[in-house]
């Protein structure tokens, strides 16, 4: 513990020496070079929203600058490739993407150990991640929903193929065997995926010491009026994040105290000061966690890119299987046909269903109504609400566990110190099969008395954390379906009045 504190202090001193500062005084960035924090922020622990993060050391006003990280302190492809050996090797592998190269750069610096100029920063990177590419077979299956399984499978395959493609380069650079493994690659790729920030000159983004300690908050009401804002930012990654928020022409904030309070961006690279600047997106009280909006993400996207999800995510959306005729009834894209976090069908899904439920020869005459979001007739509305409710019910019934069982399993997991107690608590539940599968995936253990030991294995503990995330995700998915059924019932009632 003491060692960790010491190491954090060393890191913050190192950061101050690089000019990183949370001081409000831009002329005289830091009073002392002993820490880059202390004027606005401090590193703190927030167990329910991201773990390690940044807290306010004083009341912060919305829009005020809370951290500056000079360009020279950013870890980018450009800065790491000042190393001639790396640069020469990379130049021989031009087929690699910029993100793959940044992954190699990170592993290369890791390989340097204490001699890396980034060493004080690198030692504070998380040791493991829970992004989908790290999900094992058991954890993947625990997601239960085809769409999520498919996204996970895709993430794993992508990671594998990117690793294979970069292998020759890493061999050329004579990486030691440990850094050549797929495990090392997924770790580095997850670091890049979950921590890089957008910079205008490199699509791979940058690693930003101290600036990457901000935990995530979903964009709030300011974006909720733009239903399909995700189309603007659809290929989600943290890089798009600041892009999605960075348009200073979009001023949606009602409060207009000063120019800063209007900005939607809470972080971005600013040419005039040659630094990454972070702003308070809200008023914060001393002690509050200061959060950053990385972008607009569904829970599945958060899991894919960042390895966490939000219990209440205003940007969550779920997809249900639709008949081919529904997709072909309109020109809306498949991605726009979904159900919102609160159970309401998306604008496009409603329009598509309304047209699909209209006889083919009448569609043309009512197309304009459907595309403007209007109901077509009471009968049509009743038909689609019944269909949607029935479909959601069928999806729920086809899933291996219910919300109640999942909730009980989660609570048993939280309250059991070991797997033996967990088994006892869940003896009568369907979930016990899942627990057996977990045991099979981790040891083929048949001896109940040794369950307790499993929790001691670090690998099983990691797997359990991911299993828990998978259950939390599927519970959210199922709750959206239940809310959609309620929504349909309400609509049906009002149609039948």
Ligand X SMILES: C[S@@+](CC[C@H](N)C(=O)[O-])C[C@H]1O[C@@H](n2cnc3c(N)ncnc32)[C@H](O)[C@@H]1O
From the list 11, 40, 41, 50, which residue makes contact with ligand X (rule: CB under 6 A)? 50
With respect to ligand X, which residue has the nearer C-beta, 45 or 92? 45
With respect to ligand X, which residue has the nearer C-beta, 125 or 492? 125
Positions 200 through 259 that interact with ligand X (CB under 6 A)? 212-213, 215-216
* Alpha carbon distance 273, 290 (integer Å): 23
* Minimum distance from residue 317 beta carbon to ligand X (Å): 18
Alpha-carbon torsion 271, 272, 275, 281, what sign?
A: negative
Q: Does 22 bind ligand X (CB under 6 A)?
A: no
With respect to ligand X, which residue has the nearer C-beta, 241 or 380? 241
* Minimum distance from residue 365 beta carbon to ligand X (Å): 48
* Minimum distance from residue 308 beta carbon to ligand X (Å): 4
**Do residues 273 and 20 lie in contact, with contact meaning Cβ atoms separated by under 8 Å?**
no
With respect to ligand X, which residue has the nearer C-beta, 49 or 98? 49
Mapping DSSP onto H, E and C, the string for the chain reads: CHHHHHHHHHHHHHHHHCCCECCCCCCCCCCCCCCCCCCCEEEEEECCCCEEEEEECCCECCCCEEEEEEHHHCECHHHHCCCHHHHHHHHCCCCCCHHHHHHHHHHHHHHHHHHCCCHHHHCCCCCCCCCHHHCCHHHHHCCCCHHHHHHHHHHHHHHHHHHHHHHHHHHHCCCCHHHHCHHHHHHHHHHHHHHCEEECCEEEEEECCCHHHCEECCCCHHHHCCCCHHHCCCCCCHHHHHHHHCCCCCCCCCCCCCCHHHCCCCEEEEHHHCEEEEECCCCECCCCEEEECCCCCCHHHHHHHHCCCCCCCCCCEECCCCCHHHHHCCCCCHHHCCEECCCCECHHHHHHHHHHCCCHHHHHHHHHHHHCCCCCCHHHHHHHHHHHHHHHHHHHHHCCCCHHHHHHHHHHHHHCCCHHHHHHHCCCCCHHHHHHHHHHHCCCCCCHHHHHHHHHCHHHHHHHHHHHHHHHHHHHHHHHHHHHHHHHHHHHHHHHC
Beta strand 51-56 with 197-199: parallel, antiparallel or unpaired? unpaired
* Minimum distance from residue 212 beta carbon to ligand X (Å): 4
From the list 195, 239, 317, 341, which residue makes contact with ligand X (rule: CB under 6 A)? 195
Q: Does 51 bind ligand X (CB under 6 A)?
A: yes
With respect to ligand X, which residue has the nearer C-beta, 163 or 216? 216
With respect to ligand X, which residue has the nearer C-beta, 47 or 324? 47
* Minimum distance from residue 352 beta carbon to ligand X (Å): 33
Q: Which two tokens stand for residue 25?
A: 């005084």
* Residue 271 burial (C-beta neighbours within 10 Å; 0-12, 13-18, 19+): exposed
With respect to ligand X, which residue has the nearer C-beta, 51 or 220? 51
* Minimum distance from residue 304 beta carbon to ligand X (Å): 11
* Minimum distance from residue 50 beta carbon to ligand X (Å): 3
* Minimum distance from residue 471 beta carbon to ligand X (Å): 16
* Minimum distance from residue 469 beta carbon to ligand X (Å): 10
Q: Does 187 bind ligand X (CB under 6 A)?
A: no
Q: Which stretch binds ligand X (CB under 6 A): 49-57, 115-123, 387-395, 486-494?
A: 49-57
* Minimum distance from residue 305 beta carbon to ligand X (Å): 8
* Alpha carbon distance 258, 62 (integer Å): 10
Q: Which stretch binds ligand X (CB under 6 A): 7-15, 43-51, 137-145, 360-368?
A: 43-51
From the list 38, 70, 111, 126, which residue makes contact with ligand X (rule: CB under 6 A)? 126
Positions 385 through 404 that interact with ligand X (CB under 6 A)? none
Positions 286 through 345 that interact with ligand X (CB under 6 A)? 306-308
With respect to ligand X, which residue has the nearer C-beta, 43 or 366? 43
From the list 29, 53, 209, 345, which residue makes contact with ligand X (rule: CB under 6 A)? 53
Q: Does 276 bind ligand X (CB under 6 A)?
A: no
Kindly write out the interface string for residues 132-171 of this chain, putting x where it contacts ligand X by CB under 6 A and - elsewhere: ----------------------------------------
* Minimum distance from residue 273 beta carbon to ligand X (Å): 22
Q: Does 52 bind ligand X (CB under 6 A)?
A: yes
From the list 39, 194, 265, 296, which residue makes contact with ligand X (rule: CB under 6 A)? 194
* Alpha carbon distance 12, 30 (integer Å): 12
With respect to ligand X, which residue has the nearer C-beta, 208 or 388? 208
Say which residue the tokens 């490199």 belong to: 202
* Minimum distance from residue 194 beta carbon to ligand X (Å): 4
Please count the residues of this chain forming the interface with ligand X, following the rule CB under 6 A.
15
Binding-site ranges for ligand X (CB under 6 A): 49-53, 126, 194-195, 212-213, 215-216, 306-308
């Amino acid at each position: 513990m003491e060692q960790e504190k010491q190491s954090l202090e060393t890191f913050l001193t190192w950061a101050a020496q690089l000019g990183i500062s949370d001081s409000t005084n831009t002329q005289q960035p830091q009073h002392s070079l002993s820490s880059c924090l202390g004027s606005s922020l401090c590193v703190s622990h927030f167990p329910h929203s991201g773990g390690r993060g940044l807290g306010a050391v004083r009341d912060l006003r919305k829009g005020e600058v809370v951290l500056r990280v000079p360009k020279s302190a950013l870890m980018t492809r450009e800065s790491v490739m000042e190393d001639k050996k790396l640069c020469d090797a990379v130049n021989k592998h031009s087929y690699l993407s910029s993100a793959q190269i940044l992954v190699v750069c990170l592993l290369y610096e890791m390989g340097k150990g204490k001699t890396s100029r980034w060493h004080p920063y690198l030692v504070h990177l998380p040791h493991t991640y829970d992004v989908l590419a790290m999900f094992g077979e058991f954890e993947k299956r625990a997601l239960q929903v085809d769409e999520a399984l498919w996204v996970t499978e895709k993430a794993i395959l992508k990671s594998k193929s990117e690793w294979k493609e970069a292998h020759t380069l890493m061999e050329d650079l004579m990486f030691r065997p440990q850094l050549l493994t797929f495990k090392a690659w997924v770790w580095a790729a997850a670091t890049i995926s979950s921590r890089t920030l957008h910079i205008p000159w490199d699509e791979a983004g940058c690693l930003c010491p101290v600036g990457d300690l901000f935990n995530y908050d979903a964009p709030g009401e300011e974006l909720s009026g733009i239903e399909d804002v995700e189309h603007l930012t659809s290929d989600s990654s943290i890089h798009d994040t600041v892009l999605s928020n960075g348009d200073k022409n979009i001023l949606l904030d009602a409060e207009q105290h000063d120019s800063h309070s209007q900005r939607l961006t809470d972080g971005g690279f600013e040419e005039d000061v040659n630094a990454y600047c972070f702003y308070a997106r809200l008023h914060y009280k001393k002690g509050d966690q200061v959060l950053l909006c990385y972008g607009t993400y569904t829970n599945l996207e958060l899991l894919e890119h960042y390895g966490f999800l939000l219990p209440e995510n205003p940007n969550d959306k779920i997809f249900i299987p639709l008949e081919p005729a529904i997709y072909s009834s309109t020109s809306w894209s498949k991605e726009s046909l979904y159900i919102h976090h609160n159970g309401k069908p998306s604008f496009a899904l409603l329009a598509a269903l309304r047209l699909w439920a209209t006889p083919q020869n009448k569609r043309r005459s009512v197309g304009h109504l459907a595309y403007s979001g209007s109901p077509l007739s009471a009968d049509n509305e009743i038909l689609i609400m019944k269909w949607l409710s029935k479909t959601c019910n069928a999806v729920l019934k086809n899933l291996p566990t219910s919300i109640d069982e999942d909730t009980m399993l989660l609570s048993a997991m939280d309250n059991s110190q070991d797997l033996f107690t967990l088994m006892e608590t869940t003896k009568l539940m369907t979930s016990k099969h899942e627990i057996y599968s977990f045991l099979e995936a981790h040891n083929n253990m048949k001896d109940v008395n040794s369950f307790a030991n499993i929790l001691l294995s670090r690998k099983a503990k990691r797997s359990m954390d991911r299993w828990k995330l998978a259950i939390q995700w599927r519970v959210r998915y199922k709750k959206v379906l239940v809310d959609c059924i309620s929504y349909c019932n309400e609509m049906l009632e009002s149609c039948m009045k």
